[in-house]
C-alpha cells in the first residue's frame, strides 16, 4: 500500500508531514504561518510600533525558525497597514561570513575556542550594522519612487555608514556608493576640490610640455617655479589621500568581521569633505562606544525614511561551520551580546532565538553577568515548550491545509475510532516539539502503509500500530537525547 493512496483516500494532497524545517515547509508557509502561533507569541513579538527585546530558548525542532518567519510576516503586515510608521527588520541568522572573516584575521594558527573567545560586543554591532546598512542601501538604490528628503547631515551619515558597512556583492562598491550619493542628494563638491585641482594642474602641466615640445621651447622646465606650482597643486590631494588612508587603515583593522578593503574605504573617505568627517564617530577603535553612535545615526536615517522602529532577529546560532553545534562555542559568540545597555537601545528591539543548551550556562553564571545582562528585563522565555493539545492542533491544521475535499480532512479520521482524541493528545505530548511530531507521524504513515498490500488496503491506523511506533520513536528519541544515536 502506498502512502499517497492512503492520503488521497482521505482527500489529502501530498504528505503534510514530509518537511521538518520551517524554512522549506510549503504547508507551513501557506497556512500555519499566519494561523498557528506558540502560546508565548505575544510576549516574543511584542508591539511592532514600539519594538522590544525578547530572548527565547528552545530545543532543536521546537519552532524557533518558524517563530522567526512568523515575526517577519507580521512585521510585513504591520508595515503595509502603517506605511508612515514602519518597522525595519534585520535578519541576523547567517553567522558564517562574519565568523569566518573574524577567525581568519585573529585566529590564524590558534584553536577555534581561543579565537572565538576574542569575539566582542562591537563585533556583533559591526555585523548587525553591515546587514542593516546593506539592506537599506539596496532598498534605496533599487527604489524608483521619490525618496523622502534627507537633511544634509542625514545624507552625510548614510554615505558614511555605507562607506564603512555596505557589503553588497550585486555591483562594485564605487559604483554603488556613487549611486547612493546621487539618490540621497549628498553633493560633496567641497570634498572633490583637492582631487580636481590635482587633475587640472597635472593636465595643464602635461599640455604645456606638449605645446613647448612642438615649438622646441622646453627651457622653462629647468626653472624652479613650474615644479613648485605643480607640487603646490598636488599637496592638498596627497595630504587628503594620506589622511583618508590612515583613517581607512584603522577602520579596516578594527572591523574584524568586515570585508571592506583599505583602498575602497580610502577612496570613499577622500571624496567626503573634511568638515563632514571632523568629529564624526568612526569604527576605528576596538570599542563599542563609536558603534553606539553609529547605531543612533542609522536610526535617525531610518526614521527620516519612514521606519519608526528597528528589529533584529537572531536565529540559527548553532549552524555556522565554526560552531558546529558546540554549546561552548555558541556561548562564546552570543554572550557578549547579552548586555542590557545594548539590548535596551531605544527604538531597537532584539529577538534572540537561542538553542536550549545555552540556558544551562545562564543558570551557572555569576552575579556580575546577571547584573550586566538584566535578563529579568528582556522578556525571557526559558523554554519554547509545546503542550500535547497544541501539538495536536498543529497536526490537525496541517492535515486541513493539505486537504482538497469538502469538508476538509481531520487528523482523527486517519486513525481507528478506538484511538480517541485524549489518547492521541497524550501520545503526541511525549514528542515535545513540532519537528519530532512531524517525524513521528511521517514514520507512522509509512509503517502503516508498508504493513498492508494494495489488494487489501486499510485506511485507518490501528491502535496497535500507533502504540508500537510511538514506543519505538520515543526509544530513539531518548537515545538521541543521551547522544547515543542519530535522529
Let me know: does 258 contact 251? Beta carbons within 8 Å. Answer: no
Is residue 141 packed enough to be buried (19+ CB in 10 Å), middle (13-18) or exposed (0-12)?
Answer: buried
> What is this structure's pTM?
0.88
Contacts of 297 (CB under 8 A, 6+ apart): 157, 160, 161, 281
* pLDDT on residue 247: 93
Per the listing, cell 518567519 goes with: 69
Provide the grid cell at 149. 528628503
Let me know: does 311 contact 349? Beta carbons within 8 Å. Answer: yes
pLDDT tens string 238-267: 777 888 899 999 999 999 998 889 999 998
* pLDDT on residue 22: 72
* pLDDT on residue 193: 60
Provide the grid cell at 275. 568638515
Alpha-carbon torsion (446, 452, 455, 456), positive or negative? negative
Provide the grid cell at 228. 613648485
Contacts of 227 (CB under 8 A, 6+ apart): none
Between CA 352 and CA 374 the distance in angstroms is 14
Q: What is the DSSP letter of 147?
A: P
Per-residue pLDDT of the chain (487 residues; tens, 9 = 90+): 899 999 999 999 888 898 877 777 777 777 777 777 888 999 999 999 899 999 999 998 898 999 999 999 999 999 999 988 899 999 999 999 999 999 999 877 788 999 999 999 999 999 999 999 999 999 999 887 788 889 999 999 999 999 999 998 888 999 999 999 999 988 766 556 666 666 777 787 677 767 777 776 776 666 766 767 776 776 677 777 888 899 999 999 999 998 889 999 998 998 888 888 888 999 999 999 999 999 999 999 999 999 999 999 999 999 999 998 899 999 999 999 999 999 999 999 999 999 999 999 998 999 999 999 999 999 999 999 899 999 999 999 889 988 888 889 999 999 999 999 999 999 999 999 999 999 999 999 999 999 999 899 999 999 999 999 999 999 988 887 776 555 4
Query: What are the start-end ranges of the E strands in 165-249?
Result: none
Question: Dihedral, CA atoms, 259, 261, 264, 270, nearest 10 degrees?
Answer: 120
* pLDDT on residue 191: 56
Contacts of 312 (CB under 8 A, 6+ apart): 90, 92, 128, 132, 348, 349, 350, 351
* pLDDT on residue 207: 77
Q: How many CB atoms lie within 10 A of CB 117?
A: 15
Which of 365, 369, 300, 310 lies closest to 337 in space, CA to CA? Answer: 369
* pLDDT on residue 189: 62
In 271-355, which residue ranges form alpha helices assigned H by DSSP? 274-277, 289-304, 327-334, 340-343
Amino acid at each position: 500500500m502506498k502512502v499517497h493512496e492512503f492520503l488521497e483516500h482521505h482527500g489529502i494532497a501530498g504528505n503534510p508531514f514530509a518537511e521538518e524545517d520551517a524554512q522549506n515547509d510549503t504547508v507551513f508557509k501557506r497556512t500555519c504561518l499566519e494561523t498557528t502561533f506558540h502560546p508565548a507569541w505575544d510576549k516574543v513579538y511584542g508591539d511592532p510600533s514600539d519594538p522590544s527585546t525578547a530572548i527565547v530558548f528552545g530545543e532543536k525542532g521546537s519552532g524557533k525558525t518558524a517563530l522567526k518567519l512568523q515575526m517577519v510576516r507580521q512585521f510585513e503586515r504591520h508595515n503595509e497597514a502603517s506605511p508612515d510608521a514602519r518597522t525595519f527588520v534585520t535578519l541576523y541568522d547567517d553567522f558564517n561570513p562574519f565568523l569566518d572573516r573574524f577567525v581568519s584575521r585573529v585566529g590564524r594558527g590558534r584553536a577555534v575556542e581561543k579565537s572565538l573567545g576574542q569575539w566582542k560586543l562591537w563585533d556583533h554591532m559591526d555585523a548587525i550594522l553591515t546587514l542593516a546598512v546593506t539592506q537599506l542601501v539596496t532598498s534605496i538604490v533599487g527604489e524608483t519612487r521619490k525618496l523622502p528628503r534627507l537633511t544634509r547631515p542625514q545624507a552625510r551619515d548614510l554615505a558614511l555608514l555605507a562607506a564603512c558597512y555596505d557589503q553588497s556583492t550585486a555591483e562594485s562598491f564605487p559604483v554603488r556608493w556613487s549611486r547612493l550619493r546621487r539618490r540621497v542628494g549628498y553633493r560633496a563638491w567641497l570634498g572633490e576640490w583637492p582631487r580636481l585641482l590635482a587633475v587640472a594642474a597635472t593636465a595643464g602641466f602635461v599640455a604645456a610640455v606638449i605645446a613647448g615640445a612642438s615649438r622646441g621651447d622646453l627651457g622653462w622646465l629647468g626653472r624652479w617655479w613650474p615644479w613648485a606650482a605643480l607640487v603646490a597643486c598636488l599637496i592638498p590631494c596627497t595630504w587628503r589621500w594620506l589622511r583618508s588612508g590612515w583613517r581607512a587603515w584603522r577602520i579596516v583593522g578594527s572591523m574584524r568581521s568586515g570585508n571592506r578593503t583599505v583602498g575602497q574605504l580610502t577612496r570613499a573617505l577622500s571624496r567626503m569633505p573634511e568638515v563632514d568627517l571632523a568629529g564624526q564617530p568612526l569604527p576605528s577603535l576596538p570599542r563599542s562606544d563609536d558603534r553606539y553612535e553609529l547605531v543612533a545615526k542609522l536610526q535617525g536615517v531610518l526614521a527620516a525614511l519612514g521606519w519608526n522602529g528597528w528589529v533584529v532577529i537572531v536565529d540559527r546560532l548553532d549552524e555556522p561551520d565554526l560552531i558546529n553545534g558546540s554549546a561552548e562555542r555558541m556561548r562564546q559568540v552570543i554572550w557578549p551580546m547579552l548586555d542590557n545597555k545594548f539590548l535596551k537601545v531605544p527604538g531597537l528591539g532584539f529577538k534572540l532565538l537561542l538553542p536550549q543548551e545555552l540556558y544551562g550556562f545562564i543558570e551557572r553564571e555569576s552575579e556580575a553577568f546577571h547584573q550586566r545582562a538584566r535578563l529579568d528585563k528582556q522578556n525571557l522565555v526559558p523554554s519554547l515548550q509545546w503542550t500535547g493539545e497544541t501539538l495536536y492542533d498543529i497536526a490537525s491544521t496541517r492535515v486541513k491545509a493539505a486537504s482538497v475535499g469538502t469538508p476538509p480532512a481531520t487528523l482523527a479520521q486517519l486513525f481507528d475510532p478506538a484511538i480517541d482524541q485524549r489518547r492521541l493528545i497524550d501520545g503526541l505530548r511525549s514528542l515535545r516539539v513540532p519537528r519530532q511530531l512531524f517525524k513521528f507521524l511521517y514514520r507512522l504513515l509509512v509503517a502503516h502503509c508498508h504493513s498492508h498490500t494494495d489488494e487489501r488496503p486499510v485506511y485507518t491506523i490501528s491502535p496497535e500500530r500507533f502504540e508500537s511506533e510511538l514506543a519505538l520513536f520515543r526509544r530513539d528519541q531518548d537515545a538521541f537525547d543521551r547522544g547515543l544515536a542519530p535522529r
